[in-house]
Amino acid sequence: MREYSERLGVPASWWLLVVACAALLGTTLWAGLSVATAIVIYAVLEGACAAALLGWGAARITVTTSELVADSRRLPLAQVAEVAAMDCSSGPTCRRRYTCAWQGRRRSRRTG
């Protein structure tokens, strides 16, 4: 029985950034060559970048009643300790020099 399932993906901003970088690199490589060569260069660059982003975003997290599955790795839930929600306002983790992920970068380097 599946209780929770999530497919992780790369953000849309990564796709926009990679398309822009591949277009810039393709334009640089195209300089002085024919239009047919430019089309091949753009197609290869964009295809390679799309394959890389799809590969990075292909991870699937699934939690069932008996195990946690992350991509191809399996962890029986019998080996997992009790789960507790993280509260940054009162937890001892947040009183260290660096902040926890929930508080962001505003208070990241405390002195003292």
pTM recorded for the entire structure? 0.54
3-state secondary structure labels for all residues of 41-104:
HHHHHHHHHHHHHHHHCCCEEEEECCEEEECCEEEEHHHCCCCCCCCCCCCHHHHCCECCHHHC
Neighbours of 45 (CB within 10 A): 19
* pLDDT by 10s per residue, the chain, length 112: 668 888 888 888 999 999 999 989 988 888 888 989 989 999 999 999 999 999 888 888 888 888 988 888 898 988 877 767 666 665 555 555 444 554 444 444 444 4
